[in-house]
Amino acid sequence: MAERTPLWAIFVLPTLLIVVAVVVAGLDAVLAAGARNGRSASLRETAVRASRPGREALRHLVQQPRRTRASDVPLTRIGTALLPVAATLAAVVLPLGFRSVSDLPEGIVWFNAMEALAWAAVWLAGWGPNSALSLIGGYRFLAQGLAYELPHMLAITTAALGAESLRVGEVVDAQAGLWFALWMPAAFGIYLLSAMAMAFWGPFDQPAGADLAGGAAAELSGVDRVLFLGGRWLLLVVAASFSVPLFLGGGHGPVLPGWAWTVLKTVVVLVFLIWIRRRIPTLRMDRYLELTWVVLTPLAILQALVVAVVVLNR
């Protein structure tokens, strides 16, 4: 079972998530600039490229906010603020090593519930501006969510089934001898795919697609845009981090302390998700829907059945 952290961890958690999200955004900016302009010639140029997300955020904060006609400002504000809040609340059950802010008995259900909150946030942010482009972006996210959620739930349920517990700390403890990723490879792969879809990232970025001028974020400006796009980075970090206690043994590992293993594994997963974004083109929604219903969902059910049989015969 995960150890309890001091009360001050509640206040440190959002700061830590923001720092990691900024670092990941900087890495992505360096890779994007490298793809456009070639490798940087000096460390100074690399630092300038890495600082682009920060400079963009500052530019949005000082620019004059704009509003579409008849936009619902409170609805837009709720949606944009809800996205980083949902990501942060989802992270309270994430253990760093063997300590989490709150090791809830239903921690996996809590994480999944916060994902549903992110659904509402993106849809509200797309609906609020009263614009066709942002509304289509919001509906695309709902369609994507309906497609990925079932195999996603089956994947995380399979990990809980293997540990015979919904408590994240006990899922980590169950992997002391063997990581779940090794005997639940289908569930692990499905989880990584759905983690990208959850953050509308990589081949699943249609809700923020360039063909809709940014999709759900098309009409957002100023602090609303910073909150929304920042919340997306936080979602990516939290979704990637949750794969570590679910499938990669959490803080278990030789020599290094538990927190170091958690950080190391999270970095590997994040780098993989950043890398794969540039290797696979955006999937059309209808093709993604077909993939999830015809391939991923049956595969997730089969994986869960195999784990259930193993657990029953222990």
Give one DSSP letter per residue of 75-112, joined into a string. HHHHHHHHHHHHHHHHGGG--BTTEES---TTHHHHHH
Digit-coded pLDDT (tens) for 88-129: 888 888 888 788 788 888 888 999 888 888 888 888 888 888
As a whole number of angstroms, the distance between CA 25 and CA 236 comes to 10
Strand partners, 99: 3, 96
CA dihedral 20, 23, 28, 32 (to 10 degrees): 160
What phi, psi does 3 have (nearest 5°)?
A: -80, 150
Quick one: pLDDT at residue 244? 92
- The SS3 of residue 100 is strand
Digit-coded pLDDT (tens) for 22-75: 888 888 888 888 777 777 777 887 888 888 888 888 888 887 777 777 778 888
Q: How many CA atoms lie within 13 A of 105 on its CB side?
A: 0
Give the DSSP H/E element, type plus range, for residue 3.
Answer: strand 3-4
Quick one: pLDDT at residue 187? 92
**Average pLDDT, integer, range 178-187:** 89
- The SS3 of residue 96 is strand
- pLDDT over threshold 80, residue 238: yes
Quick one: pLDDT at residue 229? 87
Q: Say whether pTM exceeds 0.75.
A: yes
Quick one: pLDDT at residue 303? 92
Angle at 284 between CA 25 and CA 85, to 5 degrees: 40
Across the chain, mean pLDDT equals 84
Q: Distance from first CA to last CA of the chain, Å, rounded?
A: 21
- pLDDT over threshold 60, residue 248: yes
Which residue matches tokens 């929304």?
228
Tokens of 4: 């309890």
DSSP class of residue 191 equals: H
Confidence of residue 268 (pLDDT cuts 50, 70, 90): very high
Confidence of residue 199 (pLDDT cuts 50, 70, 90): confident
CA dihedral 84, 86, 87, 93 (to 10 degrees): 140
- pLDDT over threshold 80, residue 87: yes
Q: Going by C-beta distance under 8 Å and a sequence separation of 6 or more, which residues neighbour residue 68?
A: 129, 130, 131, 219
- pLDDT over threshold 80, residue 235: yes
Quick one: pLDDT at residue 224? 85
As a whole number of angstroms, the distance between CA 38 and CA 133 comes to 33
Confidence of residue 190 (pLDDT cuts 50, 70, 90): very high
Quick one: pLDDT at residue 1? 54
Quick one: pLDDT at residue 158? 92
